[in-house]
Amino acid sequence: MAQTPKLLVVTDLDGTLLDHHDYRFDAALPALERLKRHEIPLILNTSKTAAELISLRERLGTAAPYVVENGAALVWSSGLTPDSDAPLGAMMGQRMQPFGATRAEILAALAQIRRDTGLRLEGFSDWDRDTLIQHTGLDPDSAAQALDRHFSEPLLWQGSDAELKLLERALRRHGLRLLKGGRFVHVIGQSDKGRCLGPLRRAYQRHWGSMPRVIALGDGENDVAMLDAADHPVLVRSPVNPLPRLSAAARPRAYTPEALGPEGWNDAIERLLAHYQLR
């Protein structure tokens, strides 16, 4: 009988593992417990900041590496060896591998684009904690953590589709790009949620002695690069956004549970673990 391959679960948070409206993950608890029982790493890959993930990673019971600010940086956990040529910094007391532009570079570009185009660009850098709470419903501590950004700037888009295209063209001239998330559009460097999968696969291959298969779960367009690069892409239904559009090559591998958010997340994990006969 063939040996069961090692698995990694790489997941988006808002609208996927966390409910879009109240940020709870109660409906996913059965599958989360099964992942822990089988010692399958739960890798968070999110638009959130490293500061936001401190308490959430603890509540989820995961000590695995994690990816912040829409793929801009991969924070390594102890026991894993990054690629020997990976550029490494430090974040939250751990080794950090950056993939994108710094926030200072992004904000300087946005200031120039405001001057050049007259576009109304309102984002996290313009808000204090209370304003962010009004826009998101986050509690005060979580809002302060969300403002502690290093590699991206979320914008509350209020313009037309034509103006959004104008912004995208202007950002490209600065070497930046725009990702549409569940609540905001995110200005980032040349990074995406899929770039981390190669380094993660190789690190776990060195750690385990065999190449893992990746289950990736997401609900938005900013998750497409991650889903396209996964062995098992899962498109989680959102109450507010259409399903992300995968590449033609990834579509035959994809699974879309019927339930929304964390309930659909739970169903997909249960189904895939059953596929690998992990009870």
DSSP string covering 80-138: ----TT---EEETTEEEEE-S--HHHHHHHHHHHHHHH-----BGGG--HHHHHHHH--
Do 108 and 94 lie in a common domain?
no
pLDDT at residue 1 in the model: 42
Of 169, 188, 207, which residue constitutes the final position of a domain? 188
Q: Which domain-ending residue is among 137, 159, 188?
A: 188
The whole-angstrom separation of Cα 251 and Cα 71 is: 22
The domain that contains 146 carries what CATH number? Answer: 3.30.980.20
Residues 92 and 216 in one domain: yes
What token pair was written down for 150? Answer: 């290093």
| Whether residue 236 sits in one domain with residue 110 | no
Question: Are 120 and 170 in a shared domain?
Answer: yes
- Residues 82, 220 within the same domain: yes
Please give the Cα distance from 114 to 122 (Å, whole number): 10
pLDDT of 183: 76
**DSSP helix/strand/coil, 43:** strand
| pLDDT confidence of residue 253 | 96
Q: What is the domain count for the chain?
A: 2
pLDDT, position 37? 97
Instruction: Report the helix count and the strand count for the chain, using DSSP H and E.
Output: 9, 11
Nearest in space to 179 (alpha carbons), one of 18, 45, 70: 70
Which parts of the chain have pLDDT scores under 70?
Answer: 1-2, 181-182
Q: Where are the alpha helices (DSSP H) in the chain?
A: 29-37, 50-60, 103-117, 129-136, 140-146, 161-173, 197-208, 224-229, 261-275
Contacts of 164 (CB under 8 A, 6+ apart): 157, 178, 185
Residue 100 confidence (pLDDT): 85
- Residue 110's pLDDT is what? 97
Task: Look up the CATH number of the domain holding residue 235.
Answer: 3.40.50.1000
CA dist 24 and 43 (Å) reads 18
Last residue of a domain, one of 130, 156, 188: 188
Q: Indicate whether 63 and 44 sit together in one domain.
A: yes
CA 179-175-244 angle, to 5 degrees, is: 20
pTM of the model: 0.88
pLDDT score, position 32: 98
The reply to whether 12 belongs to the active site is yes
Examine residue 1 and state whether it is found in any structural domain, yes or no.
no
Residues 12 and 94 both lie in one domain: yes
Residue 177: the pLDDT is 92
Domain that holds residue 118: 103-188
Residue 42: in which H helix or E strand, if any?
A: strand 42-44
Together in a domain, 238 and 270: yes
Same domain, 181 and 223: no
What pLDDT, on a 0 to 100 scale, did the predictor assign at position 241? 86
- Whether residues 183 and 203 fall in one domain: no
